[in-house]
Chains A and B, each alone.
Chain A
Amino acid sequence: MTQSIVVQVGQCGNQIGCRFWDLVLREHAAINKKGIYDDALCSFFRNVDTRTDDHGVDLQKGKICSLKARAVLIDMEEGVVNEVLQGPLRDLFDSKQLITDVSGSGNNWAVGNKLYGGQYREQIVENFRRTAEHCDCLQCFFVIHSMGGGTGSGLGTFVLNVLEEEFPEVYRFVTSVYPSAEDDVITSPYNSVLAMSELTEHADCVLPIENQSLVDIVKKIQQMANSGKLGSFKPNSLLTSSKGGVNDSEKPFDAMNNIVANLLLNLTSSARFDGSLNMDLNEITMNLVPFPKLHYLTSSLTPLYTLADVHVPSRRLDQMFSDAFSKDHQLIRADPRHNLYLACALMVRGNVQISDLRRNIERLKPSLQFVSWNQEGWKTGLCSVPPVGHTHSLLALANNTCVKPTFIELRDRFHKLYRKKAHLHHYLQVDGMEQSCFTQALSSLSSLIEEYNQLDATKGIPMQTPDRLNIAL
């Protein structure tokens, strides 16, 4: 089986990363009762014998000795990473997996990307190489970062470049948290647009997440839990609450970060566990990315209660599929139902069969618009292992033009600042940062938006079938 390395950059990236490690450990603990280091565990963890020496020797099979996360933690301040090292997950990481500084990036993409990038390049490369050496078949890097700040967006996208140069064969999946419109970081539009152009050029696939959507989803889950008729908290599921988890006091962002962590969990479940229709990570890009730059995938996770600990009487299976296409279940504020689909993947876990999938695709298809050349753009996966404590779940990934408004809004907010050259000098005083970086990033974003525009323009126009080849008999 293959392995993946999680690269968490900046405060947001590290917080989500830690929720991910908590959840993935508990998922494996629930499935792997005997405590054997198996192939599934191997995909995110090393099994190390720490008794022999500090470096630890990788153990291939047998009992779990000491698990080490296949992760690289990067932050330019120490706060979050130190918290991790003092917290219950500390044994998962050793100091060699960390790259930290003390002074932060001051919400400045240029500081993260140009200054720290240059300064820490060698250390970063060295760290990746070492982590990669422990894998016998490294398939994917999962970069987790936010777009609005300085470290996540600047250094995060620098890291992405390094990965492409050093490991061209390994996939780069990026989970990017986009700032809300009322973000408190004034320069977030700059940072996001500068980061976007790097994502467009150097990522294989980007999963955009919006904070506001996470807030809304958390609210919805709380309403479900509090409405009484939907039941009580469930102690044995993959909790998002404090019960059973590693952290005793829940922090405000934990519930939101858990949703993103669940996204990564479900995205990789079919690669880790058995199923009657496996869906490996490399199949995601193959099926969902028709053109190299259009690799932004919206995601939704249903049923929502699998993201929390509420014990809810299970609803009809078909509802799970319907919800996955509704506006309020998307992890970014977008409405796929009223926009154009380029492709769509349904990754199902648990007790669901191919006939359930087929029935629901047939049912939902008429209400969705697909691009003319991909009228049957559905990819499906069936993983037999459900999320802990639940019977089934669905992750829907869509390549849909509904991401466009988010990008346009970002561009508008960028323009507002850029027109007045506001805060520009903070960027331009960083070595290697020039005004052309801004104009290039802007034109890259505009041409991306234009690509979506062109696809949207085909909506509703009757399809013209190209003439087939003629055979002379």
Chain B
Amino acid sequence: MSIVTVQLGQCGNQIGYELLDVLYNDLSNKGGKCSARENANYQAVCNERFFNEDESGVPLSRSVLIDMEPKVISQTILMAAESGKWKYDHKSQFSQKQGSGNNWANGYFVHGPKHKDLIMDLVRKQVEKCDRLAGFFTIMSMAGGTGSGMGTYVTQCLRDAYPDSFLLNQVIWPYGTGEVIVQNYNSILTLSHLYHSSDAMLVHENDIVHKICSQQMNVKQISFQDVNKVIAHQLGSVLQPAYTSEGATRYSRNPLGELMESLVPHPEFKILGLRNIPQMSEHSLAYSTFTWQGLAKHLRQMLIANAKMEEGINWQVRPPSRPTSERTLHESELLFNTSLANLIILRGQDVQNFPLEGFRDPALYTSWLPPDDACSVWKTPRSFNKYDKSAALVSNSQGLLKPLDAIIGKAWNMFASKAYVHQYTKYGTEEETFLESFTTLEQVIASYSSL
């Protein structure tokens, strides 16, 4: 089954490129530290998932590139062509001359409806090239205008046109400070609308990824490319083929569907976070060895202490001892991150040695879902992207409560003074729409808080 990737805006297109590059490099990595047969299977499934071939046999990515200005897309297409490995279908792009100007309303109410037909036509052409469609993977940022506004609009169009397909939105959470001043407005409008049309939102926070670059990857002068490469690696570790059930003999054909089935048991909870281990510079990697036990221990503590990277985990945090009843919680328990559902994805030799008990502990989960249902595991003996052993953890947990609460707080604060609101009403986003968005998201916060 195939996934059609939709890259929107500057951020979406830059990350989309890095993701496909990671996927292709991993796919063409000879051997992959597993049997030849295993590797061949893996390659075939990955190929079908993300690429088709042009007449001369060059892999073409199953992507639709969308931006409201031409510079980023033309550069992205050029970079892929110059890689000499894979290409974008140059017909599968849509760009205009003038960007959305960081204005969600401009993307959503103006550019979206105006270009809907052409864009959905490009999507349909990619869909028709798939033998079977697994769903759509949309990459966008929440901060700007095109990724957020157009991204929201296009997601709704995909939902209408492909009601039975899975929609996973990769959402880039902007830096707390210093990207776009109206990013909090754009973000709440995006998140609240996606909550109605997307199946799940996979979130990457720029601030966290930036820290990973500096503290774990040892990058001195961090560029957007460095940040995007880390995001691409993390996404690749989820999207590459894996065996999704115990004793399965073939790779999962329905990665998005199974992801939703594992992680989104209730429509009120759709925000997913992603943690990876190990992550380090190639230089350090050459001198490191890992055991599944060690990785499991760290990954579990990252989850319960809500650490989004391995560096600086708070080891004091532990699950509250049940029943909590009226007893005041110990400080170390207050910091505890309750999960609704987790998906662990393991790649490398001897994956069966990864100890899962720690992740099946009922204390980690909310009371209304049995831990067996709440914790899923995907595995493959094939290594991924330079790491002999690696583990990814996608979780639907309280982990994003804090950043979400902060964004709503800042946006609400600005909204109370009516600053910048005129820029939105100009394009048809009324104050009422803002209020509805605030309501939707306050509800989401309330739901996650009560897990």
Contact = CB atoms under 8 A, between A and B. Distances in A.
Given A137-B98, A286-B101, A473-B450, A1 B224 contact: no
Contact of A353 (B72, B221, B446, B450): B221
Given A276-B224, A276-B225, A372-B417, 15 more contacts: A1-B97, A39-B70, A136-B97, A282-B101, A285-B101, A285-B423, A286-B145, A343-B181, A354-B210, A358-B175, A361-B177, A373-B413, A376-B410, A378-B181, A473-B446
Interface in B419-451: 419-420, 422-423, 435, 438-439, 442-443, 445-446, 450
Contacts of B222: 353-355
Most chain A beta-carbon contacts within 10 A, residue among B14, B75, B423, B439: B423
A290 B419 contact: yes
Given A274-B71, A286-B102, A466 B412 contact: yes
Contacts of A83: none
A272 to B, nearest CB: 9
Most chain A beta-carbon contacts within 10 A, residue among B102, B103, B219, B435: B102
B419 A373 contact: yes
Interface in A228-264: none
Given A286-B182, A354-B223, A355-B222, A1 B419 contact: no
B69 A1 contact: yes
B181 A374 contact: yes
Contacts of A382: 224
A188 interface: no
13 contacts: A2-B69, A2-B98, A274-B71, A280-B99, A289-B420, A290-B419, A292-B422, A354-B223, A355-B221, A355-B223, A376-B181, A469-B435, A469-B439
Contacts of A459: none
Most chain A beta-carbon contacts within 10 A, residue among B179, B409, B438, B446: B179
A343 B182 CA distance: 10
Interface residues of A, number: 49
A356 interface: yes
A466 B98 contact: no
A162 to B, nearest CB: 21
A377 B181 CA distance: 5
A343 B177 CA distance: 12
Contacts of B100: 282
Contact of B214 (A277, A355, A470): A355
A274 B181 contact: no
Contacts of B408: 468
Contacts of B10: 277-278
B23 interface: no
Contact of B178 (A1, A361, A373, A473): A361
Interface in A48-88: none
Contacts of A436: none
A2 B96 CA distance: 9
Contacts of A469: 412, 435, 438-439, 442
A380 B412 contact: no
Contacts of A280: 69, 98-99, 101
A463 B422 CA distance: 23
Contact of B177 (A283, A292, A378): A378
Contacts of B213: 355
Contacts of A290: 419-420
Contacts of A375: 410
A466 B411 CA distance: 11
Contacts of B419: 290-291, 373-374
B446 A471 contact: yes
B176 interface: yes
Contacts of B420: 286, 289-290
B177 A287 contact: no
B180 interface: yes
Given A374-B414, A471-B442, A354 B181 contact: no
A291 B210 contact: no
A288 interface: yes
Interface in B202-244: 210, 213-214, 219, 221-225, 227
B181 A357 contact: no
A447 interface: no
Contacts of A468: 408-409, 412, 442
A-B CB proximity, top 10 nearest: A282-B101, A355-B222, A137-B97, A290-B419, A466-B416, A378-B178, A287-B181, A376-B177, A471-B446, A276-B224
A287 B144 CA distance: 11
Interface of B: 10, 14, 69-72, 75, 96-103, 145, 175-182, 210, 213-214, 219, 221-225, 227, 408-410, 412-414, 416-417, 419-420, 422-423, 435, 438-439, 442-443, 445-446, 450
Contacts of B225: 276
Contacts of B224: 276-277, 353-354, 382
A376 B101 contact: no
Interface string A106-127: 0000000000000000000000
B189 to A, nearest CB: 14
Given A276-B223, A282-B98, A372 B177 contact: no
Interface in A426-472: 463, 465-466, 468-471
Contacts of B97: 1-2, 136-137
Most chain B beta-carbon contacts within 10 A, residue among A39, A274, A282, A285: A282
Contacts of B103: 282, 286
A473 B451 CA distance: 12
B413 A278 contact: no
Contacts of B221: 353, 355-356
A73 B304 CA distance: 67
Contacts of B214: 355
A288 B102 CA distance: 11
Nearest to B411: A373
A139 interface: yes
A357 B178 CA distance: 8
B69 A465 contact: no
A445 B51 CA distance: 61
Interface string A361-388: 1100100000011111111101000000
B99 A283 contact: yes
A2 B99 CA distance: 9
A287 B102 contact: yes
A191 B77 CA distance: 52
Contacts of B413: 372-373, 463, 465-466
Contacts of A376: 176-178, 181, 410
Contacts of B438: 469
B210 A287 contact: no
Given A354-B222, A378-B177, A283 B227 contact: no
B98 A139 contact: yes
B443 A471 contact: yes
A466 B413 CA distance: 6
Nearest to B439: A469
Nearest to A470: B442
Nearest to A281: B101
A119 B449 CA distance: 68
Contacts of B442: 468-471
B212 to A, nearest CB: 13
Contacts of B410: 375-376
Contacts of B423: 285-286, 289
A282 B181 contact: no
Contacts of A291: 419, 422
Contacts of A357: 178
A379 B416 contact: no
Nearest to A290: B419
Given A276-B225, A353-B222, A355-B222, A282 B177 contact: no
Contacts of B98: 2, 137, 139, 280, 282
Nearest to A137: B97
A334 to B, nearest CB: 21
Contacts of B101: 280, 282-283, 285-286
Contacts of A465: 409, 413
A466 B414 CA distance: 10
